[in-house]
Amino acid sequence: MTRHIRLVVCVIATLCAGLAAAQVTSPPASVAFVYVSSSPTSNAYEINGFTAASDGKLTPISGSPFSADVQNMAVNGKYLFGTNGIEIYSFSIAPDGGLEKVASINARRFNGYNCGGPYALFLDHTGTTLYDEDFDGNICANNTYQHFSIDRATGELTYRGANAASPALGLPLSFIGNNVYAYGSDSYQWNPLIFGFKRNLNGSLTNLHLNPPMPAARQGDFYDPYGAAADPTNHIAISVLPFNGTTWQPDGPLQLATYTATNTGGLTTASTFSNMPASAVKYATDLKMSPSGKLIAVAGTAGLQVFHFNGSQPITHYTGLLVTEQIDQMFWDDANHLYAISCSGNKLFVFTITPTSVTQAPGSPYTITNPQNIIVLPKN
């Protein structure tokens, strides 16, 4: 071998070795921004921002935690919205996930009663309309859904109106795939309610005045529903807890029903006591559908559990309890990660979950003092 050939071979070997080293040491790709509001001290609030890697590991965003008087949040890709129960603030999201407050609006003043105010925030699928559950926003007793248009250039919110008024409207709505119909469920004074709304072209919501059947219960029982999570098409998961019709006490574990939305927004179900899976989370606190619509996560006072979601067919068991302490809220990203906060446990859990495997992400759980709310922005 000539000296020239040996030199070329050595150079190539060195480059390959350097490339291999770079491949070994390069960090996993970033797949999402994760934001958790918290209250580290009394009456002080902030937003903890993280970058999520492809393996689910979290890294604090530069500048985090961000000073922000907010508890509940929503995000549309360009802006993060947060509320303290009176105002709604808009924060621009920098390319690295950093936050900067750019606008605010007093949402309470629009209900005309100087009481209550915005609680849970949520958006339609396009991210063009922001909704809030205006707690006690009607005669200081009933809840409504306010809606605001969003100025994409500035983040400014413009109040457009409020829809419905009922003490039972205690949760955010979940939109099905067509972005026209949205659903929720709750109960008031032992009256189980599954409610639905149609989203109009201007973003307003029209109450569908639904009265869908509850799942057929065991003889002598009735079901109390809580929450709703829609898949990407036209199916909705709802948690139902059986109660004894005589003692009015819980009469078995939480179960999971599935409903199908019709072309006009009505709901049908084939769920019954005998074909709905039982959950070990005890009392539900949150339901979240995976982006694929193949998994449904259920959080509750006894932990966190994931089930296979099968469209109009019965939901089926998948995992046992992944966490055995109360989980208050969850969100999925688009890379099979589920993020869950425990307010009482001061923890943020991260799992990588597919229909065939479940692993806890590196570094999970993370410690966050008094977490309030969580929101996730997938990075496309």
Q: Please report the DSSP string for 188-252 in residue order.
A: ETTEEEEEEEEEPTTS-EEE----PPPPBPPTTEEEEEEEEEE-SSSEEEEEEEEEETTT-SB-S
Least confident stretch, 109-123, 311-325, 335-349, 364-378: 109-123
Residue 17 has pLDDT above 80, yes or no: no
Average pLDDT over residues 14-38: 65
Average pLDDT over residues 356-380: 96
Please give the residue that has the higher pLDDT: either 242 or 16.
242
Q: Tell me how many domains the chain contains.
A: 1
Please give the residue that has the higher pLDDT: either 188 or 143.
143
pLDDT tens-digit map of 117-140:
999 999 999 999 999 999 988 888
Give the CATH number of the domain where residue 254 resides. Answer: 2.130.10.10
Token pair of 76 as six digits: 């549309």
Residue 230 lies in a domain: yes
Residue 315 lies in a domain: yes
pLDDT tens-digit map of 88-97:
999 999 999 9
Residue 2 has pLDDT above 90, yes or no: no
pLDDT tens-digit map of 298-336:
999 999 999 999 999 999 999 999 999 999 999 999 999
Instruction: Scan for tokens 């993060």, then name that residue.
Output: 80
Residue 267 lies in a domain: yes
pTM, full prediction: 0.91
Rounded-to-5 percentages of helix, strand, coil across the chain: 5, 55, 40
How far apart, in whole angstroms, are the C-alpha atoms of residue 300 and residue 287?
A: 9
What pLDDT is stored for residue 189 in this prediction? 79
Residue 7 has pLDDT above 70, yes or no: no
What's the chain's average pLDDT?
92
Residue 114 lies in a domain: no
How far apart, in whole angstroms, are the C-alpha atoms of residue 168 and residue 185?
A: 8
What pLDDT is stored for residue 190 in this prediction? 76
Residue 60 lies in a domain: no
Residue 184 lies in a domain: yes
DSSP letter at 210 equals: -
Residue 8 has pLDDT above 90, yes or no: no
Average pLDDT over residues 347-356: 98
Residue 255 lies in a domain: yes
pLDDT tens-digit map of 140-162:
888 999 999 999 999 999 999 99
Please give the residue that has the higher pLDDT: either 285 or 379.
285
What pLDDT is stored for residue 167 in this prediction? 84
| Distance between start and end Cα atoms, the chain | 50
Backbone angles phi, psi at 208, to 5 degrees: -80, -10
Instruction: Scan for tokens 């799992």, then name that residue.
Output: 351
Number of Cα atoms under 13 Å in the Cβ half of residue 350: 27
Residue 290 lies in a domain: yes
pLDDT tens-digit map of 255-311:
999 999 999 999 999 999 999 999 999 999 999 999 999 999 999 999 999 999 999
What pLDDT is stored for residue 163 in this prediction? 87
Highest-confidence segment of 9-18, 38-47, 186-195: 38-47
**Residue 318 is part of which domain span?**
171-327
